[in-house]
Each structure stands twice: as C-alpha cells, then as structure tokens.
C-alpha cells in the first residue's frame, strides 16, 4: 500500500511540475521549483527502497527466511529516508504559508494538496510504527548445537527471568498503545486497570511466535481455502425447505416458526437501541428526512432520558424503529462509560411484555468493555458447577441490574402492566449483557425470556450456559465471527495458522496474491495447494521443524501442535460458551437474485472454531440479522422458487 501511495504521489508531483513549469517561479525566488525537484528525488529514492524491500521480502518461504537476510539493512535504509521526507514536508508547508502569495491559485492549490498528502503519509507511517512495530525485537536466542534431552529440559533461572522481563515489557508497550489510542478517555485508576487487563490479553497473543502481520494474513488466506475445501468435500445434507407460512415443529418439540417470529420482533428493539447511527445507515434516503423534524424537540416532560442524547435524535430513531409511542417508554439511558452501556425499558403492548433492550458496541468505551475478556465469578443460586462469565459484560449486566432493581425501574413498569412478562434483548455486546442480565433476574422473574442476537462466543461457563437454555435463545447468522470469538478459539486459530504456514512451500507474495484473488472472485480452492510437495499425511500429524522455527520459546501451547485431537490440545484459559439454545440461520441459495435463508437449532459446540470468510463481519451487522429474520418470517409465495423437499427431517425452516 505504501509503495502504491508513494508512486501516486510521485506521478502527481511530476504532473504538477510539468504542467506549471512555465510559471513555477511566480514569486521570483525559485523556492517552489527547488521544492518540487527535491520532492521528486526524495520520492524516487523512497520508491526504489520500497521496491527493493518488496522484492527481497518475496524470496524464500515463511519458514525459510534465509533469502530475506538483507531485509534489516533495507529497512534501516528506508528509515533514514524519513529524515529528508520530513524536511521536504516542512519546506512545502513553509512555501504554502509564506512564498505562495501572488502565485496562480491553481498552482498554490496543487502544492497544498502535495504537502497535505506528504503529511498524511508521514502520519500514517508514524501510527504504523507505534501500533505495529515491536520494540522488544525477537527475544529468541541464536540457535545452539543440539543438546541431550535432559539438558534441554533444564531451563536456567536467567533464561526464565529473561522471558518474564520480555513479557512484562510487552504488556507495558501494549498498555501505552491503548492509552494513546484512548487518549480522549479519562485516565483514572479504573480505566488504567482496564487498559492493563486488555494489554495482558493482546501481548499474550502470538507473543511466543515469530510471525509478522503479513504471515498471519497469509495463514488466514490459506485457512479460508482449506475450510472451503473441507466444506465442499462433505456429503450434502438433506435440508427441508418450505414456506415460512406453514408451521413446522423441530425434533425437540419447539415451535421453530413461533420462535422465529418472536426473534424477529425482538430484533427490532435490539436494533433500535443503537439509536440514530444504525437508523440512518439502514435508511440512507428516508432516514435523515424523518429524523430532521424530531431531533430538536424537547420531550423531557414525556419520558425520562439519561445522558448522551442532547438533540433527541437517538430517541426519535427508537420511536421510528419500534413503532411505540412516547408514553410506552419507562426509562431511556444513553449514558455510556466502560462497563456502563445504554439501554431502555418500554412496554411492548403487542407481545404484552416489559421489554429491556441493551445497546451493542457503538463507541470506544464499548470496545474496551468487549476486550475485557477475562473470566469473572458469577455465582447464581440453584446452579451447580463452576459459574463464571466474560468480565466486561458481567460488569455491564451488574450495572443495568442495579438500575432496574435498586432504582425501581422494573417495579414502575410492572405497576403499570402487572400482567405483562419480562423480555430482555440485545445485539452483540448488548446480547451478551442481556443474557447475563437475564441470568441475574431469573430467580426474581421465573417467566422472563431473553433473545440474544449475535452474542459473543466467550460468554458463559458450561454450567451457566446449560442453566440459560430454559429462557435464553441465541440467534446467529451465517459465519458471524463474534459468536465464535473467545480466547480458547483464538489460541486454536493461532495453532492452525502456525501449522498451515509451516506446511506451505509457496512464497508469501504468491499466497497473498492468490488469497486476494480468491476472496474477490472465488474459484476452486484446490488450485491453491497448502501442503509441502511430497509430504506424507502421517508426517503432517507430527510437530514440524518449520513450526518449531516459528516458536520463540517452547511454550506449553506448543505441545498441542502434535494433533488437533490430542489430550495435550488444551487451552490455558477457561472455556466459555454461547448462552441458551442456539438458532443458526444460514443461506439456502438465491431465488431470482434474492437470498433465501434457512434456520435450525444448533449446538454451542458447533461454534468452537473460527471460520474464515468474507462474510464473517457482515453477517454480524444488526441490519443483516434483522433482514434475515424478516425474510424467514414474512409470508411470500413459495412456489416462485421451488426446492427439493424431504419430509424425513423436519428440523429446519
């Protein structure tokens, strides 16, 4: 990308110099001509150095870095060129501010564009160094001669101290990066604790490997093709397809169509909790016009709203999305801090429910709540077994629980509608928080229900996940990444990346180019071999020298590389699961360019591995989930798109 940007900048500067050559010395001092000529020379040197880096880095394979041994010298050479680049950017700024007066406006405008582009590239480069460069370097010592097994097993206290120091320094580096990224947030003690916990999580991932970001990208590209290859080789399963208007009952006895209708209804509230950003995104042409007349009205006397909605746009979008009236809302909070997320409480007369909707991730504070992924004890009366959950969402659920119970919000709602039942819903971060909130309120409200859309995979311990199946329904769309995202799953992904890149003898540039082509245009994954030539299958089940060469230290996780199913393949982190029963929605082909969906009850164990796909992020979007649910529940003539029907497995819609 940098090579492309610098090439475009050089071409633009050459066009500017050639086009304005006749009147380039408009002020008679020749500063502009000298600036442009110098800029062309500096950009040319930078382009040559980047071309050399690209060429040399394309040599060898990921596990054979020998042909790339000259890369450090080229990187240092490129780093030295930042000095004249910075000097020329300053000269351009000086000319624009002082020497550009009286010159042709078009010339001045073109030079301003060149100067701005130079500063943008410098800023992006500086940010890349801050957030990507590892100042600790590679702590792996030089390879020594082979030693007897007993000697290798004896680690000196100096070596242990070295790796411990390196890990603590890595945590400090990531903590500094987080503070810089979150400089707009208060740097108080509680936030510093959050930064420290997240830094430990980030520094631990790939900390004992010698992989760079491009290695990880190559591994992800290979994994995607490998997963598609395995999926295509599976025997096609028999799927029941039928009109959404015809009721079907799954093998477990649940009315699947009724659950889909309830889920589609609740998803509107979960989407509404995002406020005006999602409403405008989903209604690009009509949304701004509908909200423009409502945003600045004062409705303080009609509802209680807390924080973050000064113009009233959030609340107006909630009204448009849900179709409720002002009087139907009991409490609306847009207050947002780490562990404290917005939510609202409303009376849903259509379903006769007091509905609590929790907002998903929409701010930097929400991201930090998401990333607080450590386990926290959550003892629940009547639940046997280990009870723990995602720390950030557990804290957020406790915050909302105190608001609902201690501030009397639920008492107020049920005093208005005592016959109504309690329903809790949310999407993404809101889904995880809603599930934990439902668990906390279950003993007080035995009939409550929770609909959790695209919840995070690393949420509940097994005991709590089983307990929640009586009152929580999780809805997952396609290959959504978030329901498969947990620390153990990320460790498994790292292990699979290490294995697949070490089994590949193709240059990294070919892997990346073929991977980009495959992502953009598809094709047959069999055209992209991922295993070393002539490698026997039984050899692939053993740890490889290539894998070992990618390890900085012999960590305990390396022992799990022997086999995916080996007893040693265990995670150092506690396992966490999706909440409740899982309703999985997948695409079932297209009908006249319109995507058709099918839904089936799934198991939380089906989400114990991360699937690489271009849809892994788009399937998580709340508008995509709402669209899929609406497509499943709306009544359309099914005969327009017939499909083979087999009544022997009535378990899908």
The catalytic site residues sit at: 428, 480
SS3 content of the chain, % helix, strand, coil (to 5): 55, 10, 35
The answer to whether the CB of 6 falls within 8 A of the CB of 50 is: yes
Q: What are phi and psi of 138, to 5 degrees?
A: -95, 110
12 vs 534: CA distance, rounded Å? 49
Which residues make Cβ contacts (< 8 Å) with residue 123, sequence separation at least 6? none
**CA Rg value for the chain:** 29
The answer to whether the CB of 540 falls within 8 A of the CB of 534 is: no
Positive or negative, the CA dihedral 275, 366, 626, 578 is negative
For 611-625, the DSSP string reads: PP-THHHHTTSHHHH
User: Count H helices, E strands: the chain?
Assistant: 24, 11
What residues pair up with 585 in beta bridges, in sequence order?
477, 599
Which residues make Cβ contacts (< 8 Å) with residue 616, sequence separation at least 6? 479, 480, 481, 610
607 vs 566: CA distance, rounded Å? 19
Helix (H) or strand (E) holding 501: helix 487-502
289 vs 292: CA distance, rounded Å? 5
């Amino acid at each position: 990308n940098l090579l492309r940007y610098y090439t475009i900048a050089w071409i633009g500067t050459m066009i500017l110099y050639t086009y304005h050559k006749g009147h380039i010395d408009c002020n008679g001092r020749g500063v502009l001509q000298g600036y442009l000529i110098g800029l062309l020379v500096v950009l040319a040197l930078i382009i040559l150095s980047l071309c050399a880096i690209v060429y040399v880095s394309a040599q060898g394979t990921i596990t054979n870095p020998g042909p790339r041994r000259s890369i450090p010298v080229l990187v240092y050479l490129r780093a030295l060129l930042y000095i004249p680049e910075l000097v020329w950017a300053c000269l351009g700024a000086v000319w624009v501010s002082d020497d550009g007066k009286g010159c042709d406006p078009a010339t001045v405008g073109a030079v301003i564009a060149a100067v701005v582009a130079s500063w943008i590239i410098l800023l992006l480069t500086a940010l890349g160094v801050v957030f990507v460069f590892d100042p600790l370097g590679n702590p792996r010592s030089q390879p020594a001669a082979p030693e007897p097994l007993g000697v290798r097993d004896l680690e000196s206290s100096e070596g242990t101290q070295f790796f411990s120091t390196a890990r603590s320094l890595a945590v400090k580096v990531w903590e500094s990066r987080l503070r810089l990224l979150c400089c707009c947030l208060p740097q108080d003690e509680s936030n510093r604790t959050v930064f420290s916990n997240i830094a430990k999580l980030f520094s631990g991932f790939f900390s004992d490997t010698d992989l760079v970001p491009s290695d990880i990208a190559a591994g992800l590209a290979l994994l995607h093709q490998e997963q598609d290859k395995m999926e295509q080789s599976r025997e096609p399963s028999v799927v029941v397809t039928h009109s959404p208007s015809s009721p079907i009952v799954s093998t477990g006895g649940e009315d699947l169509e009724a659950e889909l209708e309830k889920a589609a209804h609740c998803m509107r509230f979960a989407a509404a909790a995002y406020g005006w950003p999602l409403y405008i995104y989903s209604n690009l042409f009509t949304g701004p016009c509908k909200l423009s007349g409502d945003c600045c009205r004062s409705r303080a006397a009609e509802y209680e709203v807390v924080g973050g909605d000064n113009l009233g746009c959030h609340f107006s979008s909630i009204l448009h999305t849900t179709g409720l009236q002002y009087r139907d809302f009991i409490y609306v909070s847009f207050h947002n801090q780490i562990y404290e997320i917005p939510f609202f409480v409303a009376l849903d007369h259509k379903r006769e429910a007091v509905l609590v909707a929790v907002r998903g991730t929409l701010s930097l504070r929400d991201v930090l709540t998401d990333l607080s992924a450590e386990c926290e004890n959550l003892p629940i009366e009547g639940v046997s077994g280990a009870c723990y959950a995602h720390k950030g969402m557990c804290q957020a659920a406790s915050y909302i629980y105190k608001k609902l119970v201690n501030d009397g919000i639920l008492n107020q709602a049920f005093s208005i509608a005592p016959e109504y039942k309690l329903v809790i819903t949310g999407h993404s971060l809101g889904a995880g928080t809603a599930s934990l909130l439902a668990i906390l309120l279950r003993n007080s409200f035995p009939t409550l229900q929770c609909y959790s859309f695209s919840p995070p995979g690393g949420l509940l311990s097994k005991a709590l996940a089983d307990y929640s199946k009586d009152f929580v329904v999780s809805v997952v769309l396609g290959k959504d990444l978030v329901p498969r995202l947990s620390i153990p799953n990320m460790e498994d992904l790292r292990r699979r990346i290490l294995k697949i890149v070490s089994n590949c003898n193709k240059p990294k540039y070919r892997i990346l180019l073929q991977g980009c082509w495959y992502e953009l245009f598809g094709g047959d994954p069999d055209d992209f071999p991922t295993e070393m030539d002539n490698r026997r299958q039984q050899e692939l089940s053993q740890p490889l020298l290539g894998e070992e060469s990618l390890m900085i230290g012999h960590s305990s996780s390396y022992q799990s590389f022997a086999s995916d199913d080996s007893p040693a393949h265990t995670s150092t982190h506690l396992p966490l699961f999706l909440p409740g029963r899982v309703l999985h929605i997948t695409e079932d082909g297209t009908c006249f360019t319109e995507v058709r969906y099918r839904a089936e009850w799934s198991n939380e164990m089906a989400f114990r591995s991360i699937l690489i796909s271009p849809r892994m992020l788009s399937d998580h979007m709340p508008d995509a989930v709402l669209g899929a649910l609406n497509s499943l529940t709306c009544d359309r003539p099914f005969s327009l798109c017939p499909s083979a029907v087999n009544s022997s497995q009535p378990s899908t819609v």
